[in-house]
Chains A and B, each alone.
Chain A
Amino acid sequence: MHELSIAISMIDQISEESESRGGLEVEVVHLKLGIFSGVDKQALLFAYELACEGSPLQGSRLVIESIPLVIYCDACQKDRVPPSVYQLSCPECGTPGQKIVTGREIEVASLEVVA
């Protein structure tokens, strides 16, 4: 359960971002979370609420967009969604995929702030 560590890093980062823009009142945080990031969505939502208490982000809401796992198939020369997270091969031709295109993100995409 490292989601609490992730949530704390997130809050630190957003607070910094907010300060550098002259102090934002954040209502919603939009996060992109890859399904191959090793971070659990539900656990992160729970941890975020805990970590927000007493921070400048208290009362804000976290919205998580799950990013699928996409690999690059060298044979087809195309991005492909593998059959599962534990079978990293091309669904069309079966070639094993060594390059991950998306799925590892833990990235704050945007903030909804009071205008």
Chain B
Amino acid sequence: MSTRMVEVRAKVLKQNDLLARALRERFTREGTCVVGLVSSPGSGKTAFLEKLLSGLARDSRVAALVGDLATENDAARLRRATPNVRQITTGTVCHLDAQMVEKALESWRLDRIDFLFIENVGNLVCPSSYDLGEELRFVLLSATEGEDKPLKYPTIFNSSDVAVITKMDLAEAAEFDLAAARRNIESVRPGMQVLEVSAKTGAGMQAAFDLLHAQLARARHSQVAATL
């Protein structure tokens, strides 16, 4: 039986990319600053996010989507900071995709939200392939995980915009080599901005707030530009 070749040249995640682009345009139109959070399980995403939400809520309108395989525990925890929290339970899926985000946003008035955070499933591999339409992606690395995480998971670090080193209050006890961690981040994502925080003590959180406010100002600028 003879065969012939058919050229296709199609991106496998085209559907996700198209949906993510539509979401990004919607976020720009509504003036919402959208930030994704990725990390391994247990690196302190939820504690960091809780601090972000409660800090930002003082003068801004905040909301969060939080992804997990199962349970509503994280959403319940984050609701201490804001009622605007929705859990996305993925079942067996190890990452969020743009469709899950779109569905979870249903009936939310984005024009009444300044900051929307999307906490991904704890996983340093799979989320790197899926654009969620966020403007900024934070990758978290805790001081207790060891400084070579960026070298082991270069793809996710490279596809993120800001690295956040969490649990800095435990750095000394864990003999965390901060200089090496910074070197490793720079090696896989040259020029990447790095924040050092402790959600427990609050150290370093101000830098995160400042960065987010600057990002919101940019989002508002793009919103105006988009309506012209």
CB 8 Å contact bits of A82-115 with B (1 = contact, 0 = none): 0001111100000011101000011111111111
Query: Which residues of chain A are near B97, meaning CB under 8 Å?
Result: 5
Interchain CB contact under 8 A, A86 and B188? yes
CA distance A100 to B151 in the complex (A): 17
Tell whether, in the assembled complex, residue B3 and residue A85 are in contact, meaning their CB atoms are under 8 Å apart: no
Contacts of A86 in B (CB 8 A): 150-152, 154, 184, 187-188
Q: Are A36 and B154 in contact (CB under 8 A)?
A: yes
- Write the chain B residue with the least CB distance to A29: B8
CB distance from B117 to the nearest CB of A (A): 22
Contact B158 A9 (CB under 8 A): no
Of the A-B pairs whose beta carbons lie under 8 Å apart in the complex, a sample of 27, sorted by A's number, is A1-B94, A1-B126, A2-B93, A5-B93, A6-B13, A9-B13, A12-B15, A14-B8, A21-B6, A24-B6, A27-B3, A37-B129, A39-B129, A85-B154, A86-B150, A86-B151, A86-B187, A87-B187, A96-B191, A98-B190, A106-B129, A108-B12, A109-B9, A110-B8, A111-B8, A112-B6, A113-B4
Contact in complex: B12, A13 (CB < 8 Å): yes
Is B10 an interface position by the 8 A CB rule? yes
A33 to chain B, nearest CB (A): 9
CB contact under 8 A between A114 and B1, given known A2-B125, A39-B129, A106-B13: yes
List chain B residues, Cβ under 8 A from A24: 6
Is A23 interfacial (CB-CB < 8 Å)? no
* B2 adjacent to chain A (CB < 8 Å): yes
Bound: A84/B159 CA distance, A: 16
A28 CA to B5 CA in the complex, in Å? Answer: 9
Q: Give 4 new A-B contacts, CB below 8 A, not counting A13-B12, A115-B1.
A: A12-B15, A88-B188, A110-B7, A111-B8
Q: Do A109 and B3 have beta carbons less than 8 Å apart?
A: no
Contact with A along B164-186 (1 / 0, CB 8 A): 00000000000000000000101
A2-B94, A2-B126, A86-B187 as given contacts; A110 in contact with B6, CB under 8 Å:
yes
